[in-house]
Chains A and B, each alone.
Chain A
Amino acid sequence: MSAVREEMRPLGVIGELYARFPGEGFVEQATADGIPTMWVPVGRLLRVMKLLKHEIRQPYRMLYDLTAVDERLRQHRDGLPPADFTVVYHLMSFERNSDVRIKVALRGESPHCPSVTGLWLNANWYEREVWDLFGIWFDGHPNLQRIMMPRTWQGHPLRKDHYARATEAERLTMDAARVDREQEALRIKPEEWGMTAAGEDHDYMILNLGPNHPSVHGVFRVMLQLDGEEIVQAVPDIGYHHRGAEKMGERQSWHSYIPYTDRIDYLGGVMNNLPYLMAIERMAGIQVPERAQTIRVMLCEFFRITSHLLFYGTFAQDVGSMSPVFYMFVDRQKAYDVIEAITGFRMHPAWFRIGGVAADLPRGWEKRVREFLDWMPKRLKDYEQMALKNTILKRRSIGIGQYSTDEAIEWGVTGPGLRATGYAWDYRKARPYSGYEHFEFEIPTGKNGDAYDRCLVRVEEIRQSLRIIEQCLKHMPSGDYKARHPLTTPPIKDHTMQDIETLIHHFLNVSWGPVIPPGECTMTVEATKGLNSYYLTSDGGTMSYRTRIRTPSFAHLQMIPYLARGLMLPDLIAIIASIDFVMADVDR
């Protein structure tokens, strides 16, 4: 990682930016993932963003991620502009099939940055999150409130000087005054939600749906302004499942953080390990052997199936169909049986390791996988009759919560939600990782981008996942299940008793954990619910300096007010069900 000097005139988007803004102090940064990265003076930010979104040829239409880094304790900053905090914008272009990262250096205790909410609608929540966790002000933001932490929270947790554990904090005492203050903060004031209870000739009902409600899939709250049963406004409130997963990343060794990733999208299991490990492996320069890659793909697809089956069942259940979910749970158990036979765990195996996987496939794994492949297709056929072709289910979901491809991109929607609009874009095809380029499968798409199509796409994806698993079964390569590289975990022990070098590496990696060279890297996978990225910053230590987890559910939930307006209360439930999120994936 080092700053590249302007005279070198590189090509691509970096070159275009240098050409448009000559001599304005733009600094290019080289990163391990190869995503063009540019430091931009804060005064030019909006101009640059507007250019990238609207004016440039093949524009970057999606604000894929927006986050920040507390730079104050970072040691390896070779040549980067001086900064106390950095705001990082990750933009995605579908036409170019590539990304760009824009960084803004901010100084001082209470830094300010212009808001990009005027350019991207989905910047709203991202900027609120950065404000909440880093204390960076976004000038021009319409509603700069805390989003993850309680409104009464003091401090900004992702700052380096904020404590990470309760034992480091001042002892919590709830005296009468504090209890009163907290109670008062819980009072529902419609104005705070941008609502009014009094209409022109009749009052509206302000309904608090959640955080504990049968069909919000976890702890999720939607404040509703209702006119009869018609939704005038729906304002989602998140943060009830916030566990500080990103903060934990700064306190765990590279290796010991793996189990935490399993619990981000808790239905995705080992699929969560993959982007995290891919980012580490890229920074460490580890080549994962083919066999390990294929094992990873196979398990990821198993988890895609179990996650989609849960979606399928709960979707049917949320429109009032009681039975399908029970049948699908039987199938999920069958899939988990296979997963358990391979990994030893069911839902959260945390089974991938830096450089490969934890163990080789057990003897007889082919038989278990084959049994599942034989079992599943006929069940899917049954479900089609039971759920998808049901007239009432169709009436409840066709045309409900509809959006176009352009709207999806504007809101940062990825995964099945994007494909349901008819846009065949799958990360596994567009930018293959972990050997997906060797597999044959199709990208299922919908037509209307409504709740029904979102279900249809996922059902078809189950079939495609079965196809991929079948190919894994037939063409499982032989070889190592973990790379022969000193930074893998747990380190390879074969030669420790023969040469001192291996012994030292083994000793250090087991006792301290691997030291990953300084650098930055974003790695993305097509997860069960959309694109999931880990943006890791290593400062050359045994722990991550900053772990940013970009999850699909966060972006998708933000769209709810836009989708629900003018519909009925039961439609909102159908929309929520069709989005397919888990709150752990939203709040992290």
Chain B
Amino acid sequence: MSSERMALIGTILLAVVATAALLIWVERRMLGLWQDRWGPNRVGFLGLGQVVADMIKIFMKDDWIPPFADRPVFVIAPAIVMVTVLLAFAVVPIAPGVSVAGDWNVGVLFVLGMTSLAVYSVMLGGWASNNKYALLGAMRSTAQSISYEVFMGLALLGVVIQAGSFSLEDIVLAQQDGWFIGPQFLGFVLFLIAGLAETHRLPLDLPEAEHELTAGFHTEYSGMKFGMFFVGEYVAVILVSGLLTTLYFGGWLGPTWGLTLAGWSFMPLVWFVLKTGAFILFFILLRAAIPRPRYDQLMRFGWLVLLPLALLNTAVTGAFVLLRSGA
């Protein structure tokens, strides 16, 4: 591997993790804005120093492992979430030909596989903590993630059928004549809900459900191990936002207004970042706006509403594509 490639990979991963850390500040400021209050605005310019302060705090904290916990599993669990989510990021194309792992012809499957593996992190973390709240959280998380995994996969099948490829780059290129948000609107909505469930964000944050389970699966975690769960959640938010952009909103594609200036080569990156950023903000807004359903309601909604809709979406898309190709 060339050193240039290494540098690119390093830059992307670093940027993702740094953005995730920054998101903690962004989220708190945005929530503050929407909730008639300030949010962190004291440390540094606009409170940006809060990110650094939080980092220092979390590194300096006593990294306590409860004596009743299953030590090796307890330690590994938070690492799994970081690893799997970052790995999933490897195939997301940020600009034409720019991604960590290059263009894979099974990109979509790889992402799904990695997000499925992330379930282990929460499940093992909750189990190894040997804490009742953590166990309840892990139980909810496992059921929720496994169920919503199914709808996630089914929801994006429509996109795969239309693009005729599992490669994320091909999917972006297939949207040159029109983004998939139009024909695949239903799929988009399903994927968004499933993505929320996968990232455990507020309307669907049942595994953590502060008001019921104190902190859910990570009740016993402290210091950097908690930090990994925390940042892992934000990386997952970036990942899902990036996927939404790639699958339904044309990825790096954007209007060029016929410009062919030298600066043009940056535009795909700008478009990707803008679209992804908009989704991230949307995720934060959802958190501010919507209450949390009950666990059994969520499961019922998933299997009785989302699953049939996802199947319907796949079938209708398939039929359309077949009809058009005249087979």
Contact = CB atoms under 8 A, between A and B. Distances in A.
A323 B133 CA distance: 25
B239 to A, nearest CB: 23
B183 interface: no
A572 to B, nearest CB: 8
Contact of B35 (A207, A323, A568): A323
A326 interface: yes
A212 to B, nearest CB: 9
Looking at B135, B205, B213, the one whose CB has the most chain A CB atoms below 10 A away is B213
B284 to A, nearest CB: 11
Given A322-B202, A395-B294, A327 B209 contact: no
Interface string B195-213: 0000000110100011111
A570 interface: yes
Interface string A369-406: 00000000000000000000010110110000000000
A569 B212 contact: yes
B292 A568 contact: no
Interface string B217-246: 000000000000000000000000000000
B295 interface: yes
B297 to A, nearest CB: 6
Interface string A162-194: 000000000000000000000000000000000
Interface string B101-122: 0000000000000000000000
Contact of A392 (B136, B213, B293): B293
A568 B294 contact: yes
A326 B296 contact: no
Contacts of B140: 229
Contact of B287 (A319, A322, A330, A570): A322
A317 B34 contact: no
B211 A322 contact: no
Given A320-B203, A327-B36, A568-B296, A396 B291 contact: yes
Nearest to A319: B291
A205 B214 CA distance: 17
A277 to B, nearest CB: 37
Contacts of B261: none
A569 B296 contact: no
A59 to B, nearest CB: 40
A207 B219 CA distance: 14
A215 interface: yes
B5 interface: no
Contact of A229 (B136, B205, B287, B289): B136
Interface string B291-317: 111111100000000000000000000
Given A229-B295, A395-B297, A323 B289 contact: yes
B37 interface: yes
Given A392-B293, A393-B291, A327 B212 contact: no
Contact of B295 (A214, A323, A395, A568): A568
B288 A320 contact: no
A368 to B, nearest CB: 21
A524 B66 CA distance: 51
A213 interface: yes
B291 A570 contact: no
A321 interface: yes
Nearest to A325: B35
Given A214-B214, A320-B203, A573-B212, A326 B36 contact: yes
28 contacts: A207-B132, A207-B136, A215-B211, A228-B139, A316-B291, A317-B211, A319-B211, A319-B291, A320-B202, A320-B205, A321-B290, A321-B291, A321-B292, A322-B31, A322-B202, A323-B35, A326-B36, A327-B35, A330-B36, A392-B290, A392-B291, A392-B292, A395-B297, A396-B294, A396-B297, A568-B294, A570-B212, A570-B295
Interface of A: 205, 207, 213-215, 228-229, 316-323, 326-327, 330, 390, 392-393, 395-396, 568-571, 573
Given A395-B293, A395-B294, A568-B295, 7 more contacts: A215-B212, A316-B291, A320-B203, A392-B291, A396-B294, A569-B213, A570-B209
